[in-house]
Structure 1
Amino acid sequence: MFYNLRRYIFLYYFITVIIFGGGFSYVKDTAKPVDAYIIITVFLILVVISGIIISKLAIEPLEEYVTNLEELSRDTLHELNLPIATIKTNVDMIEKKLSDEKSLKRLSRIKTACNMLTQRYNELDYMIKRQTKREIIERFDLKELIDERVEFLRNIYVEVEFTKDLENFIINMDKIGLSKVIDNIIDNGVKYSQNANKIDITLKNKVLRIKDYGIGIDEVVLLRIFDRYYQNDDSMPGFGIGLSMVKRFCDTHRIKLNIESKKGSGTTIFLDFKGS
Structure 2
Amino acid sequence: MFRSVQIALASLYVTTTAILIAGIYYVHQVLGVEQWGIIAFVSLILTLIAGGVLAKIAITPLREHFEHLERFSKETLHELNLPINTITANAQMLRKTHNDEKSLKRLDRIETATEMLKERYNELDYLIKKQTERERIESFDLSELIEERLGFLRSLYPSVIWELSLEPQRVTCDRIGLGKVIDNLVENGVKYSGQIPHIAINLRDQSLSICDQGIGMDEITLMRIYDRYYQNDSTMAGFGIGLSLVKRYCDRHHINLHVASRVGEGTCVKLEFKKGE
Shorter-chain TM-score category? 0.7 to 0.9
The aligned counterpart of 1:110 is 110
Secondary structure, in 3 states, of the residue corresponding to 2:135?
A: coil
Secondary structure, in 3 states, of the residue corresponding to 1:100?
A: coil
Q: How much has 1:234 moved relative to structure 2?
A: 9.7
The aligned counterpart of 1:202 is 201
The TM-score, its normalising length taken from structure 1, stands at 0.73
Q: How much has 1:10 moved relative to structure 2?
A: 1.3
The aligned counterpart of 2:152 is 148
The aligned counterpart of 2:252 is 252
Matching of residue 8 in structure 1 with residue 8 in structure 2: yes
Deviations 1:79-129 (A, max 9, x none): 22223333334444444x426243455434433333332332222221111
The aligned counterpart of 2:80 is 80
The aligned counterpart of 2:97 is 98
**AA partner of residue 164 (structure 2):** D
Q: Compared with structure 1, are the counterparts of its residues 244 and 106 closer, same or farther at alpha carbon in structure 2 (3 Å cutoff)?
A: closer
Q: How much has 1:54 moved relative to structure 2?
A: 0.2
Q: How much has 1:263 moved relative to structure 2?
A: 7.2
Matches within 5 A, 1:158-237: 163-167=162-166, 169=168, 174-186=174-186, 200-205=199-204, 207-212=207-212, 213-214=214-215, 216-218=217-219, 225=224, 228-229=227-228
The aligned counterpart of 2:52 is 52
Taking the aligned partners of 1:110 and 1:195, their CA distance within structure 2 comes to: 20
**AA partner of residue 32 (structure 1):** V
Q: Compared with structure 1, are the counterparts of its residues 195 and 202 closer, same or farther at alpha carbon in structure 2 (3 Å cutoff)?
A: closer
**AA partner of residue 55 (structure 1):** A
Q: Compared with structure 1, are the counterparts of its residues 259 and 113 closer, same or farther at alpha carbon in structure 2 (3 Å cutoff)?
A: closer
Matches within 5 A, 1:34-45: 34=35, 37-45=37-45
Q: Which moved more, 1:136-145 or 1:8-17?
A: 136-145
Taking the aligned partners of 1:43 and 1:99, their CA distance within structure 2 comes to: 81
Q: Compared with structure 1, are the counterparts of its residues 68 and 23 closer, same or farther at alpha carbon in structure 2 (3 Å cutoff)?
A: same
User: Conserved in 2, the CA contact under 8 Å of 1:143 and 1:168?
Assistant: no
The aligned counterpart of 1:33 is 34
Secondary structure, in 3 states, of the residue corresponding to 1:141?
A: helix
The TM-score, its normalising length taken from structure 2, stands at 0.73
Taking the aligned partners of 1:137 and 1:52, their CA distance within structure 2 comes to: 34
User: Conserved in 1, the CA contact under 8 Å of 2:162 and 2:200?
Assistant: yes
User: Conserved in 2, the CA contact under 8 Å of 1:255 and 1:274?
Assistant: yes
Taking the aligned partners of 1:168 and 1:98, their CA distance within structure 2 comes to: 45
Taking the aligned partners of 1:189 and 1:90, their CA distance within structure 2 comes to: 29
Q: Compared with structure 1, are the counterparts of its residues 12 and 227 closer, same or farther at alpha carbon in structure 2 (3 Å cutoff)?
A: farther
Taking the aligned partners of 2:253 and 2:82, their CA distance within structure 1 comes to: 33
**AA partner of residue 177 (structure 1):** G
Secondary structure, in 3 states, of the residue corresponding to 2:41?
A: helix
Matches within 5 A, 1:132-147: 132-136=132-136, 140-146=144-150
**Identical counterparts, % of pairs:** 41
Q: Which moved more, 1:56-65 or 1:200-209?
A: 200-209
Deviations 1:226-259 (A, max 9, x none): 7654959697988765434222212333433223
RMSD: 4.0
